[in-house]
Amino acid sequence: MIKKRKAPRPSPTGVAELRSRLHVAEETLRALRAGEVDALVVSQAEGEQVITLQGADLPYRILLDQMYAGAVTLTPDGVIVYCNQRFADIVRLPLARVIGGPLGQFVPAAGQPALAALLQGASADRVRSELAFRAGDGTPVPVSVTFVPLRLDGNADVKGMIGVVVDDTERKAQEEARTRLIRQAMTAQDDERRRIARELHDETGQSLTALLVGLRTIEESRTTVEAAELAQRLREIVAQTLNEVGRLSRGLHPSVLDDLGLAPAVIRHAEEFSQVYGIPVDVRIEGSEAGPLPPLLQTTIYRVLQEALTNVARHAGAHRVGVRLTRGAITVELRVQDDGNGFDPPARPEPAVGDRRHLGLQGMRERAALLGGAVDVQTQFGAGTTIIARFPLNGA
């Protein structure tokens, strides 16, 4: 009979030590996943590897948390083992609910193949693309993503991926605003051409016709006195025509803006507005002694003033207008206030078709936005309108 040898029984001391080590390991992994320890856990075939962020590495984690872009560290199969606060903000979830979950939970079913292709490509080289995320609250979030392979300690083996995620909502909104501005600029250009053509035909053309008729009349004059009287009337017509041509030229681009600066250009435009429309304009300028403004900023403020006064002439029914141009240490403010009818500001960003006043307001806002500025409209029926345009000096 062959007797079976009994396996040696572990000593109580050894069992206690193993249990203690297992408990410490489990607590360490729990703390790492909960973000209580400055470290990352990367899953791989042979187990989980712990990457600690200690000493000199800690400032880099602080830097990641201050980034405008989202940052994530992924396992080879796309599980998030680390992310900064910005990424949690993009997906609209608490940080603790993001870490440990798959990145794919934020990508709708239609985008899963694209995400899988990106992660597969990132195992070998840097990849970049655009994805449509869906945040934790269901909000769609267009993002730009960049993934690079994660290699540790100079080892060629890829342990995971590092990703940078940028919310494209603001960028797309800026692109849409730029597209609208280009479209409106083309429309305004055509309107301006029609206006100039009409004025050339109605005013300059008629004046030139009167000159032609007058010159023929002089040829047929019987006496010198009669010819002199006709010549005097023709001189008046020529002077009036020169004034009209000069006004058209200044409307296209005032030379005073280049020669003397914004303040004299504002004063001259207000004076011409009063002469043409019979509406008194009170102009006050503060801070102009600080020196010339950048050319693009000067032109933008001048165009906003033109549009604001044009709206007053066309729609306001005002009796007086006040213009204030104030230059501070960091901003320039243009304020145009009338005592006219007022109106109901549009609740929607897109003006209605044919609504020229609201189209003008939208154009002013988008001109200002291109330089980092903003236009505020304060109005109500029967109480007039105030347009306030503010521009940062460093935005020009």
147 and 189 co-located in one domain: no
Q: Of 123-137, 187-201, 247-261, give the range with the top mean pLDDT.
A: 123-137
218 and 231 co-located in one domain: yes
Task: Label residue 13 by pLDDT band (50, 70, 90).
Answer: low
What average pLDDT does the chain have?
77
Distance of alpha carbon 210 from alpha carbon 240, whole angstroms: 12
pLDDT at 9: 60
Are 162 and 147 in contact by the 8 Å Cβ rule? The answer is yes
pLDDT at 28: 59
Any domain includes 27: no
Long-range contacts of 84-91 (CB under 8 A, 24+ apart): 87/165, 90/133, 90/135, 90/141, 90/143, 90/165, 90/167, 91/133, 91/135, 91/136, 91/141
pLDDT at 66: 61
Backbone angles phi, psi at 83, to 5 degrees: -155, 155
pLDDT at 389: 92
Model confidence over 68-95: pLDDT tens digits?
A: 788 898 888 889 988 888 899 899 999 8
Strand bridging mode 47-52 / 39-44: antiparallel
pLDDT at 65: 60
Burial of 369 from C-beta contacts in 10 A (0-12 / 13-18 / 19+): middle
Better-scored residue on pLDDT, 65 or 353: 65
pLDDT at 41: 52
Q: Of 9-23, 202-216, 377-391, give the range with the top mean pLDDT.
A: 377-391
pLDDT at 3: 52
How many residues can be counted in the chain? 396
Q: What is the DSSP letter of 128?
A: E
131 and 177 co-located in one domain: no
Tally of domains in the chain: 3
pLDDT at 39 over 80: no
Burial of 395 from C-beta contacts in 10 A (0-12 / 13-18 / 19+): middle
Any domain includes 46: no
For residue 43, the SS3 value is strand
Model confidence over 204-256: pLDDT tens digits?
A: 777 778 777 888 888 777 788 888 888 888 888 888 787 777 767 666 666 77
pLDDT at 105: 92
Are 84 and 69 in contact by the 8 Å Cβ rule? The answer is no
Q: How crowded is residue 283: how many other Cβ atoms within 10 Å of its Cβ?
A: 17
Better-scored residue on pLDDT, 147 or 314: 147
* DSSP E strand boundaries for 123-212: 127-134, 140-150, 160-167
185 and 121 co-located in one domain: no
pLDDT at 1 over 60: no
pLDDT at 63 over 70: no
- Cα torsion 192, 196, 202, 205 to 10°: value is -160
CATH of the domain at 136: 3.30.450.20
List beta partners, residue 141.
133
Task: Label residue 58 by pLDDT band (50, 70, 90).
Answer: very low
Any domain includes 227: yes
Q: What is the DSSP letter of 55?
A: G
For residue 15, the SS3 value is helix
Q: Give every CB contact of residue 92 below 8 A, 6+ residues apart in sequence.
A: 135, 136, 137, 139
Any domain includes 7: no
Chain-centroid distance, C-alpha 360 = 18
Indicate the residue type of 199: E
For residue 171, the SS3 value is helix
Any domain includes 180: yes
275 and 386 co-located in one domain: yes
Domain final position from 252, 284, 302: 252
Q: Of 133-147, 164-178, 343-357, give the range with the top mean pLDDT.
A: 133-147
pLDDT at 47 over 50: yes
Are 262 and 301 in contact by the 8 Å Cβ rule? The answer is yes
Are 49 and 41 in contact by the 8 Å Cβ rule? The answer is yes
266 and 373 co-located in one domain: yes
Task: Label residue 4 by pLDDT band (50, 70, 90).
Answer: low
Hunting for tokens 């993934």 — which residue is that? 147
Q: Which of 252, 281, 287, 286 is nearest to 268 (CA)?
A: 281
Any domain includes 265: yes
CATH of the domain at 332: 3.30.565.10
Chain-centroid distance, C-alpha 165 = 19
| Region of poorest pLDDT, from 12-26, 75-89, 321-335 | 12-26
300 and 341 co-located in one domain: yes
Domain final position from 167, 202, 223: 167
List beta partners, residue 285.
325
87 and 148 co-located in one domain: yes
157 and 191 co-located in one domain: no
pLDDT at 359: 53
Q: Give every CB contact of residue 188 below 8 A, 6+ residues apart in sequence.
A: 363
Q: How crowded is residue 371: how many other Cβ atoms within 10 Å of its Cβ?
A: 18
Any domain includes 36: no
Distance of alpha carbon 253 from alpha carbon 247, whole angstroms: 10
Range of the domain at 271: 255-396
Mean pLDDT in residue range 166-194: 75
Distance of alpha carbon 393 from alpha carbon 287, whole angstroms: 13
pLDDT at 282: 92
310 and 380 co-located in one domain: yes
pLDDT at 170 over 70: yes
Q: How crowded is residue 208: how many other Cβ atoms within 10 Å of its Cβ?
A: 14
128 and 190 co-located in one domain: no
Any domain includes 349: yes
Domain final position from 233, 252, 271: 252
Task: Label residue 106 by pLDDT band (50, 70, 90).
Answer: very high
pLDDT at 366: 78
Mean pLDDT in residue range 25-46: 55
pLDDT at 83: 86
290 and 240 co-located in one domain: no
Angle at 348 (CA atoms; ends 345, 354), nearest 5 degrees:
75
pLDDT at 45: 54
